[in-house]
Amino acid sequence: MLDRIALVTDFGSRSPYVGQMRLRLDALLPRVPVIELESDLAPFRPDLAAYFLPALARDMPARTLYVSVVDPGVGSERAVLAVEADGDWYLGPDNGLLALVARRARRVRILRVDWRPERLSASFHGRDLFCPIAAKLVEQESLEWAPLDRGDMLGSDWPEELSKVIYADNYGNLITGIRAACLDESARMIVAGREVRCARTFCEVPAGQAFWYENCFGLVELAVNQGNARLALGLEVGDEVEVLGLSSPWGSLAGRGQGHQRA
Amino acid sequence: MLDRIALVTDFGSRSPYVGQMRLRLDALLPRVPVIELESDLAPFRPDLAAYFLPALARDMPARTLYVSVVDPGVGSERAVLAVEADGDWYLGPDNGLLALVARRARRVRILRVDWRPERLSASFHGRDLFCPIAAKLVEQESLEWAPLDRGDMLGSDWPEELSKVIYADNYGNLITGIRAACLDESARMIVAGREVRCARTFCEVPAGQAFWYENCFGLVELAVNQGNARLALGLEVGDEVEVLGLSSPWGSLAGRGQGHQRA
Amino acid sequence: MLDRIALVTDFGSRSPYVGQMRLRLDALLPRVPVIELESDLAPFRPDLAAYFLPALARDMPARTLYVSVVDPGVGSERAVLAVEADGDWYLGPDNGLLALVARRARRVRILRVDWRPERLSASFHGRDLFCPIAAKLVEQESLEWAPLDRGDMLGSDWPEELSKVIYADNYGNLITGIRAACLDESARMIVAGREVRCARTFCEVPAGQAFWYENCFGLVELAVNQGNARLALGLEVGDEVEVLGLSSPWGSLAGRGQGHQRA
């Protein structure tokens, strides 16, 4: 039912945490492919990652289990969720990280996973808790759980779109939490006191000029042709961006946003 | 015919782009190994990567497909090439990236790939175009293509060797685009106003001293024993290095360079 | 007998060295999983990595071969060791890197591997020497070797615990070479002139406060709740930390430390 596992974390691609998860999963699920999708999400920021996760998964192959760990509350009493959403599964802490995935799905089932392993470190649930749960989900083994209403997930009251930089990539491009389908091509953004307009692609603007465009994840991205937007605009992950002349902030656009889910 | 895929890009090992390519390839080619060979090539610099690619592939196992993406012109009209070279395949944009691979091969076939998928993002052809083409090459499926002469590839007039730093590794060692077989061991280089001589290995020079040597890829590399050449010499990727007393610049040496291909 | 290979190196996750090892291993051992456990150990510091390696392997699945390369003496005459320790194997240079793994094992066998391939680069034994030896170990092929006494390994006289920062992770947490089982929870540390006390987990201390705790590898780790200990404490990898009021430095504690091995 599930064909592969994708790992999405803030563990750091330089750190051994992803490698330890892979070793554990290899012993538990020797024939299931495990792919490191993203390990450098902004540390401790499920509020930002929540808007990246559904965009990252949007055009990916179905029947994927996304083991998602951005978990500043590890070791506290926060719950663990497994979300079935339109044919994929997501596993993660109940801290908002899965809130947008659950909200945007057409068919969704939310489980609070109550099963715990015999031995559980206080600080590395990715390895000690999420890996064995992932194995049970893939193997369709029984698991103690309770159903949860979408409205009872942490983050259920978070906004539809997030007008912040949620990720900066290797080129310095700045990815926001706003789905591009929510904006007209005439929309302008105010970033670091500068007005930034839309372009379809890098080749449409002169070298050195900032613009926004719909990126490959369906999100609004700020970029500079042949340049580094992060340095040029002086923005960091978590910073606000302002969308000009937006009459109603996202609420009425929620319907359009649904066009973004995988068909 | 092809046993595995190697990914060589400037996408950044911290970014989700390589992970998305792997997820796509896993769905298209579930039993074919995909290996991330290098994801941190200098961004937007096919002119440098062109000299690294054949060196990276030189001693690697045969029947590998190198999916190679350093593609600042993504979204423009640049062509897509598939190059069969001495038993391996290379897939990449026609921007010079594959020029040296094609030139140095003894048996070479160059295809301009005209097939396009139904749905293609403007900014991420690595995922949306190169992955499905790679799958078709591995599966030996039919593909719209046209033959191309080596001289019609972009970069066909680029120099035999490149006297620039093309890559800086984790230790601060500076890899140039010059094949070591083109230089005598008596050759000296001028780097940041300093004369640098050859050594066979790190152990041959005192701690803190800069030297050049033939690295594990067959290229001239600048290093400092127990030190960081990048910091010590103040050089960055893309900077020029000068080779002293080179009578004819590389032209007459092309023949020797051929000894570098895999036997 | 061996189910998988884990790679532990200082090669850099941005560099192509791990990728080249994976390509070689894929050709040699097409069906054996290879997992990049850690590629960003402090460069050239086997003295630090020696204390991380057994901790990294402690809770990992059995029958793993750890190909371990932190090897500043590559190209010199240093020996190559294969260590069988409690059901796992470790392969690495004889420069202390495997000293603590060998010392802490209950059942241990140490081989000096004398086999060499026909072709061997001077600077990349990870690819050219350790990969083919790893393949022979996994395939249980014959290999020229000689037994070695534990006391003849380099590093056999190194201390039981290392009061230094051996690794800084993505969050800025500082991992020391001290096993937490060797310290009381009342132990205090002096770090950058500041006294640091124990906590069980991040949630137990106020935001911004430094503490030490037993991390997921069983080591003493310095952390700051919702902060970056490396920046807050101004410590770097290799720096000393002082444990207050330790009557006998580690010697008498060696017995307790054994509780850390995998049962």
Render pLDDT for B165-222 as a digit per residue (tens, 0 to 9): 999 999 999 999 999 999 999 999 999 888 999 998 888 889 899 999 999 999 999 9
Best of B170, B212, B219 to mutate (most C CBs within 10 Å, chain C): B170
- pLDDT value of position A249: 59
- d(C-alpha A173, C-alpha A228), whole Å: 6
Q: Which two tokens stand for residue A206?
A: 């002169």
CA distances to A244, B173, C164, C218, C262 from C259, rounded to whole Å, are 62, 42, 22, 10, 8
Measured distance CA(C121)–CA(C84) in Å, rounded: 27
Residues in chain C: 263
Residue given tokens 């921007």 in the structure block: B95
Q: How many helices (H) and strands (E) does chain B have?
A: 7, 14
Cross-chain residue pair C170–A12, CB shorter than 8 Å: yes
User: Of all helices (H) and strands (E), which one includes residue A47?
Assistant: helix A46-57
Residues A43-58 have a mean pLDDT of 97
Q: Which of A83-97, A238-252, B241-255 bottoms out in mean pLDDT, i.e. has the lowest?
A: B241-255
Query: B250 pLDDT exceeds 70?
Result: no
B36 touching chain C per CB within 8 A: yes
pLDDT of residue A80: 98
Interval B15-26: pLDDT, tens = 999 999 999 999
- Percentage of chain B beyond pLDDT 90 is 84
**Is residue A136 over pLDDT 80?**
yes
The distance of B166 to chain C (nearest Cα, Å) reads 13
Q: Which amino acid is at A42?
A: A
**Which residue shows structure tokens 């990595």?**
C49
Name the residue among A6, A56, A170 with its Cβ closest to that of B12. A170
B11 touches chain A (CB under 8 A): yes
pLDDT score at C258: 38
Helix (H, G, I), strand (E, B) or coil at C135: helix
CB-CB under 8 Å, A216 with B75: no
Kindly state the helix (H) or strand (E) to which residue B175 belongs, with its residue range.
Answer: strand B174-179
**Does residue A89 carry a pLDDT above 80?**
yes
**pLDDT tops 60 at residue A17:** yes
Q: Do C203 and A124 touch (CB under 8 A)?
A: no
Rounded distance between C-alpha atoms, residue C174 and residue A75, angstroms = 19
Q: How far apart are CA A113 and CA A98, in angstroms?
A: 14
For chain A, which chains pass the contact test of at least 3 CB pairs under 8 Å?
B, C
> Angle at which helices B17-28 and B131-139 pack, to 10 degrees?
30
Pick from C114, C182, C171: which is nearest to C147 by CA? C114
- Which long-range contacts link B192-196 to residues 24+ away (Cβ below 8 Å)? B192/B233, B192/B234, B192/B235, B194/B233, B195/B244, B196/B222
Residue C30: list chain B partners with CB under 8 A: 3, 33
Instruction: Quote the CA–CA distance of C89 and C108 in Å, as a whole number.
Output: 10
Are C51 and C100 contacting, i.e. CB atoms less than 8 angstroms apart? yes
Q: Which of A39, A47, A74, A121 is the mutation pick for testing C, counting most C CBs within 10 A?
A: A121
Cβ within 8 Å, pair C200-A11: no
Token readout for B195 is 């004369």
Instruction: Judge residue C197's burial from the number of C-beta atoms within 10 Å of its C-beta, 0-12 exposed, 13-18 middle, 19 or more buried.
Output: middle
Contacts with B, C 76-105, CB within 8 Å: 76
- List Cα–Cα distances, C81 to A95, B203, B221, in angstroms: 46, 21, 29
Residues in B closer than 8 angstroms to C43, CB to CB, are 170-171
Q: Check CB contact under 8 Å for C23 and B3.
A: no
Please, which pLDDT band fits residue B254 given cuts at 50, 70 and 90?
very low
d(CA B198, CA B179) in angstroms, rounded, equals: 14
Q: Closest Cα of chain C to A92: distance in Å?
A: 19
SS3 of residue C147 by DSSP: strand
Most A CBs within 10 Å: which of C68, C202, C215, C262, as the mutation test of the A interface?
A: C202
CB A91 within 8 A of CB A67: yes
How far away is chain C from the Cα of A211, in angstroms, using its nearest Cα? 29
Give me the residue from A13, A17, A22 closest to C35, CB to CB.
Answer: A22
In three-state form (DSSP H/G/I as H, E/B as E, the rest C), the secondary structure along A10-74 is CCCCCCCHHHHHHHHHHHHCCCCCEEEEECCCCCCCHHHHHHHHHHHHCCCCCCEEEEEECCCCC
B64-69: strand order across its sheet? B34-38, B4-9, B64-69, B88-93, B80-85, B108-113, B145-147
- Tokens found for residue C181: 């089982």
Asked if pLDDT for residue B262 goes beyond 60, the answer is no
- Mutation target for C interface from A7, A18, A26: give the one with most C CBs within 10 A: A26
Instruction: Say what the pLDDT of residue C247 is.
Output: 54
Q: Is B237 on the interface with C (CB under 8 A)?
A: no
- Please report, in angstroms and rounded to a whole number, the separation of the first and last CA atoms in chain C: 18
Decide: residue C204, CB within 10 A, 0-12 exposed, 13-18 middle, 19+ buried: middle
CA angle C180/C169/C127 to nearest 5° reads: 105
Instruction: State both tokens at C29.
Output: 């051992």
Least CB–CB distance from B13: residue in A13, A33, A213: A13
Which residues, other chains included, contact C178 with Cβ-Cβ below 8 Å and sequence gap of 6+?
C161, C162, C163, C219, C220, C241, C243
Please report the number of interchain residue pairs, chain A to chain C, with beta-carbon separation below 8 angstroms: 79
Please give the model's pTM, rounded to 2 decimal places.
0.94
- H helix or E strand, kind and range, residue C167: strand C162-168
Distance CA C233, CA C241 (A): 11
pLDDT at res. A250: 59
Q: Find the residue in A nearest to C58 (Cα).
A: A20
Question: Is C115 part of the contact surface with chain A (CB cutoff 8 Å)?
Answer: no
pLDDT value for A204:
86
Q: How far is A149 from chain B (nearest CA, A)?
A: 30
User: Which residue blocks in C98-159 are alpha helix, DSSP H?
Assistant: 99-104, 125, 131-139
* pLDDT at residue number C260: 36
**φ/ψ of residue A137, rounded to 5:** -65, -45
Which two structure tokens, joined as six digits, stand for B249? 């610049």
Do the chains contact at B213 and C12, CB–CB below 8 Å? no
Q: Tell me the average pLDDT of chain B.
A: 92
Condensed to tens digits (0 to 9), the pLDDT of residues C2-43 reads 999 999 999 999 999 999 999 999 999 999 999 999 999 999
Instruction: Give the pLDDT of residue A162.
Output: 97
Condensed to tens digits (0 to 9), the pLDDT of residues B61-94 reads 999 999 999 999 888 889 999 999 999 999 999 9
Backbone phi and psi for residue A220, each to the nearest 5 degrees, phi listed first: -75, 125
pLDDT reported for residue B261: 36
Residue A200 reports pLDDT greater than 90: no
Mean pLDDT for A68-72 is: 96
Angle among Cα C186, C191, C193 to the nearest 5 degrees reads 110
Q: Is C35 on the interface with B (CB under 8 A)?
A: no
Cα(B209)–Cα(B205) distance, rounded to whole angstroms?
A: 6
Instruction: Say yes or no: C146 contacts chain A, CB-CB below 8 A.
Output: no
Q: How far is C113 from chain B (nearest CA, A)?
A: 22
Q: What is the DSSP string of C197-244?
A: -B-SSGGGS-TT-EEEEE-TTSEEEEEETTS-HHHHHT--TT-B-EET
**Helix, strand, coil share of chain A (percent; to 5):** 25, 25, 45
Q: What is the dihedral of CA B123, B129, B134, B139, to 10 degrees?
A: 160
Q: What is the DSSP letter of B198?
A: B
Please answer yes or no on whether A169 and B19 come within 8 Å at the CB atom. Answer: no
Which pLDDT band, with edges at 50, 70 and 90, does A122 fall under?
Answer: confident
pLDDT value for C128: 97
pLDDT of residue B202: 80
Give me the tens of pLDDT residue by residue for chain C, a chain 263 residues long: 899 999 999 999 999 999 999 999 999 999 999 999 999 999 999 999 999 999 999 999 999 999 999 999 888 889 999 999 999 999 999 999 999 999 999 999 999 999 999 999 889 999 999 999 999 999 999 999 999 999 999 999 999 999 999 999 999 999 999 999 999 999 999 998 889 999 988 878 898 999 999 999 999 999 998 899 999 999 999 999 999 866 555 644 443 433 333 33
- Confidence at residue B245, expressed as pLDDT on a 0 to 100 scale: 65
Judge: B23–A35 Cβ closer than 8 Å, yes or no.
yes
- SS3 at position C153: coil
Using CA atoms, how far residue A102 sits from A82, A107, A137, A154, A219, in Å, is 10, 9, 18, 11, 18
Q: Are C192 and C248 in contact (CB under 8 A)?
A: no
| Minimal C-alpha gap between A248 and chain C (Å) | 35
Place of tokens 């990992």: C60
Question: What's the pLDDT band for B247 if we cut at 50, 70, 90?
Answer: low
Tokens representing B166?
Answer: 């093309």
For residue C18 the two structure tokens come to: 């791990």
- Using an 8 Å Cβ cutoff, are B134 and B25 in contact? yes
List of chain A residues whose C-beta atoms are within 8 Å of the C-beta of residue C200? 75, 122
